[in-house]
Amino acid sequence: MRQNPQMGQHSASNSIKYLFWAIEDAQGTSIEYIPFFYVESRIDFNDVRTGFSSMISLSKAIEIHSFSADLPLVEDMVRDIDLQNTSSSMPDSARLSRLPDFVDDGFMSQMETQFIRYLLNSFKSRVYRNFELDVYSNAGESLSGFTARCMELLDRSRRRDSDNLHEVFNRKLGQIEQKYLNESSPDDFEVARTASRNRDIFSDYLEKIAELFLQSKPVLNPDEDQKPRSSLELEERLMSLAVEAKEVIAELWDSYEEKARSVDEYILHPNLKDIHIVRSCILWIPAKAA
């Protein structure tokens, strides 16, 4: 491998470093490389208002022209570079095109300045805010992930409301119990048998309704229920109450999901103090890749 090569007929300043795009399986063939301006930068977001904090690393390459340092950069002039595909050693198969004479320390410094201006104008990071909770998304958190996290944060409040609703239904169950299960006559076999059956039915629905409020998700089909085992008014009342419980639980979940989705999007742009140039150099890229 060769290092610090002479670039065509022009020898750049010794302070300018070089990187080369690696090509696998060159098989000894001569490959033409052309120069790009390469820059690594770091953006340290630390927004006081939103609490958003993130460090973002960027590796970019920009085609070199005589006017590159004078014109503002736009999105289609800047390309992403995977640093793992680069090397400081020049491949034996590389055939370098001419490095323009205007590429010197001053040009590199101007390009850094243009790149900083490009980041100030173009780089952005999305942040989401939930109005119900007054919380913001974390760095790299998707909208769906943020919504799911908001639902978790709302879970304690939802469970409290669910417990309050459960108490309401327990009072309704108590009223039904007083009305239908107080009659007993140990001397009358038929009355005793009916009372025992009523207690079994009541116990089943008491447990069923309790399970509805304890489930981690609402029942998907609130109107769907088992058919009554008898034509007793008691069971009809209990079944109607179970359906009502499913409906109010589903409504409760819908209201909290709506709260979790009550999200607005903010766009954050970096400030000058947030941008740090790590290094810049000339990156040689095979012409067919460029």
- Count Cβ atoms below 10 Å from residue 203 Cβ, excluding itself: 10
**C-beta separation of 93 from 28 below 8 A:** yes
**C-beta separation of 60 from 83 below 8 A:** no
57 pairs with which residues across the strands?
42
| Confidence at residue 44, expressed as pLDDT on a 0 to 100 scale | 93
pTM as predicted: 0.66
Domain spans, the chain = 18-124+269-286, 153-260
- Count Cβ atoms below 10 Å from residue 185 Cβ, excluding itself: 11
| Confidence at residue 24, expressed as pLDDT on a 0 to 100 scale | 65
Q: What is the dihedral of CA 259, 262, 263, 264, to 10 degrees?
A: -150
Contacts for 15 with CB less than 8 Å, ≥ 6 apart:
105
Return averaged pLDDT per consecutive 10 residues of the chain, 290 residues in all: 44 75 70 95 88 89 88 90 90 88 93 95 92 88 94 95 95 90 65 81 93 80 52 86 94 95 92 95 88
CA pair distance 194, 45, nearest whole angstrom: 72
Q: How many helices (H) and strands (E) does the chain have?
A: 5, 10
| Confidence at residue 6, expressed as pLDDT on a 0 to 100 scale | 46
DSSP string, 189-258: HHHHHHHHHHHHHHHHHHHHHHHHHH-SS--S-TT--PPPSS--HHHHHHHHHHHHHHHHHHHHHHHHHH
